[in-house]
């Protein structure tokens, strides 16, 4: 099929211009500016800059606390992605059944996605806070958020819960595309529900799973700041101080623009790296229709 082309030379560029202006002003310029600043030390008030080479990078990578944040961010992301995808796939499968009132169940289960991370944090605080949390009251155990290990589990739980709705919507759509005749044929051939799920349904879900894998990784690395700020402020003793929270504190509280810029470049490269890795390894196993 012959592709239709514009005859005029100028028109396509004019049409693209608005998009490019927005991209440049809100995305490329700030990003490049951030990368540039990572090579400078910046005065906290006047913004006066002084070239410092790799000073910022050298310091963050020799700081044991930053490396600790690196480690727990990785664990956090791993847990959020795996648990998030597993739970949402299970729930989506259940929501794909035909029972009465399914519309309502679906709405309720997708609803957490409509909350901002800060509100989600407030809800979990309501459950777990050490002074008057509901769960603390009923279990008699009050140190959920004031002990490192449980606090870490709770922010994982909150982050997973918060993003369930998003994942479920995509899985539900994908489940619509699983051909019924293939499933029926398999059951006639004697395949049980487990076998049918792994050999057929899962294969059809793989493109969506891959997409969600990438999206959830990004989510875990970049978007969980609000939860942590409300629930633990990175504590107790830095046990929930993931990279994005450290970055927030360095820029907005400690006014260390140079460090913050270096940290965001590191975070950026990290997520790009993971995504590329995912494309190279996982995508080969993805089955597109």
Partner 1 sequence: MEILKQTDPTQKRSKKVFEYTNKIKLDQKAGLLYNDDQQLTQYYYSNSNKDVVFCKKIVKEKKMKRIVILLLAVTMLVPALFAAGKEEEKAVKVDADAPVTIEFWHAMSGTRIELIQGIVDEFMKKNPNITVKVQYTGSYNDTLNKVKSAVKAGNAPQVFQSYDVGTLGLIYSGIITPVDDAAKEFNLPIKWDDFFTPVQSYYKYQGKHYSMPFNSSTPLIYYNKTLFKKAGLDPENPPKTYADIRKAAVALKKAGIKTPVTWNLHSWYFEQMICLQDAPFVNNDNGRGKELPTKALINGEAGKKVLDWWVGMEKDGLFLDVGPGWSNHRAAFVSGEVAMVMSSSSDVNLLTKGLKEKGWEMGTGYIPRPEGAKGGVAIGGGSLWMTNTGTPEQQLAAIKLIEYISSDEPQIKWHKGTGYFPVRKTAMDKLKTAGWFEENPNYLTAFNQLLDSPESLNTAGALLGVFPEARSIIQSAIQECYAGKSVQQALDESAAKIDAAMAEWNTVIKQ
Residue 45 CB, nearest distance to partner 1 (Å)? Answer: 4
DSSP structure string for the chain: -PPP--SSSSHHHHHHHHHHHHHIIIIIHHHHHHHHHTTEEE-TTT--EEE-TTHHHHHHHT-HHHHHHHHHHHHHHHHHHHHHHHHHHHHHHHHTS--TTHHHHHHHHHGGGGS-HHHHHHHHHHHH-TTT-HHHHHHS---TTTSHHHHHHHHHHHHHHHHHHHHHHHHHHHHHTS-HHHHHHHHHTT--HHHHIIIIIHHHHHHHHHHHHHHHHHHHHHS-HHHHHHHTTT-STTTT--HHHHHHIIIIIS--HHHHHHHHHHHHHHHHHHHHHHHHHGGGG----
36: contact with partner 1 by CB under 8 A: no
Q: Whose Cβ is closer to partner 1: residue 11's or residue 25's?
A: 25
Q: Whose Cβ is closer to partner 1: residue 96's or residue 142's?
A: 142
Distance CA 39, CA 279 (A): 30
Question: Considering only residues 42-101, where is the footprint of partner 1 by CB under 8 A?
Answer: 42-48, 50, 58, 62
Among the listed residues 233, 272, 276, 277, the single contact to partner 1 using CB under 8 A: 233
Residue 102 CB, nearest distance to partner 1 (Å)? Answer: 39
Question: Considering only residues 255-274, where is the footprint of partner 1 by CB under 8 A?
Answer: 255
Among the listed residues 234, 244, 247, 267, the single contact to partner 1 using CB under 8 A: 234
Total of residues contacting partner 1 (CB under 8 A): 33
Whole-Å CA distances, 60 to 44, 153, 161? 18, 26, 32
Among the listed residues 254, 276, 277, 285, the single contact to partner 1 using CB under 8 A: 254
Among the listed residues 252, 280, 281, 289, the single contact to partner 1 using CB under 8 A: 252
Q: Whose Cβ is closer to partner 1: residue 16's or residue 237's?
A: 237
Q: Whose Cβ is closer to partner 1: residue 147's or residue 283's?
A: 147
Stretch 161-200: interaction string toward partner 1, x if CB under 8 A = ----------------------------------------
**Contacting range for partner 1; rule: CB under 8 A; set: 92-100, 107-115, 253-261, 272-280:** 253-261
Among the listed residues 232, 240, 260, 264, the single contact to partner 1 using CB under 8 A: 232
- Please, how many CA atoms are within 13 Å of residue 252, restricted to the half-sphere of its CB? 8
Among the listed residues 32, 237, 269, 277, the single contact to partner 1 using CB under 8 A: 237
Stretch 115-154: interaction string toward partner 1, x if CB under 8 A = --------------xxxx---------xx-xxxx------
Whole-Å CA distances, 259 to 21, 51, 289? 29, 13, 46
Q: Which residues contact 150 (CB under 8 A, 6 or more apart)?
A: 143, 144
Q: Whose Cβ is closer to partner 1: residue 242's or residue 274's?
A: 242
Q: Whose Cβ is closer to partner 1: residue 13's or residue 61's?
A: 61
Q: Which residues bind partner 1 (CB under 8 A)?
A: 41-48, 50, 58, 62, 129-132, 142-143, 145-148, 232-238, 249, 252-255
């Amino acid at each position: 099929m012959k592709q239709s082309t514009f005859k005029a030379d100028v028109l396509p560029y004019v049409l693209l211009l608005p998009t490019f202006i927005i991209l440049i002003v809100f995305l490329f310029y700030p990003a490049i500016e951030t990368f540039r600043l990572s090579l400078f030390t910046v005065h906290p008030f006047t913004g006066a800059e002084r070239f410092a080479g790799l000073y910022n990078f050298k310091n963050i990578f020799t700081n044991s606390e930053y490396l600790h944040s690196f480690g727990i961010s990785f664990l956090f992301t791993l847990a959020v992605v795996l648990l998030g995808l597993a739970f949402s796939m299970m729930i989506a499968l259940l929501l794909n059944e035909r029972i009465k009132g399914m519309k309502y169940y679906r709405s309720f289960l997708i609803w957490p996605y409509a909350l901002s991370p800060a509100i989600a944090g407030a809800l979990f605080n309501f459950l777990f806070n050490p002074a008057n949390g509901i769960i603390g009251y009923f279990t008699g155990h009050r140190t959920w958020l004031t002990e490192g290990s449980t606090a870490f589990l709770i922010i994982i739980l909150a982050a997973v819960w918060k993003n369930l709705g998003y994942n479920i919507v995509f899985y539900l759509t994908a489940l619509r595309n699983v051909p019924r005749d293939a499933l029926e044929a398999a059951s006639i051939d004697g395949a049980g529900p487990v076998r049918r799920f792994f050999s057929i349904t899962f294969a059809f879900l793989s493109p969506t799973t891959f997409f969600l894998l990438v999206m959830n990784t990004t989510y875990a690395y970049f978007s969980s700041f609000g939860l942590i700020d409300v629930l633990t402020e990175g504590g107790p003793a830095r046990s929930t101080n993931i990279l994005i929270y450290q970055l927030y504190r360095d820029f907005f509280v400690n006014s260390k623009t140079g460090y913050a810029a270096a940290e965001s470049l590191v975070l950026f490269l990290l997520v790009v790296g993971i995504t590329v890795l995912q494309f190279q390894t996982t995508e080969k196993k993805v089955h597109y229709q």
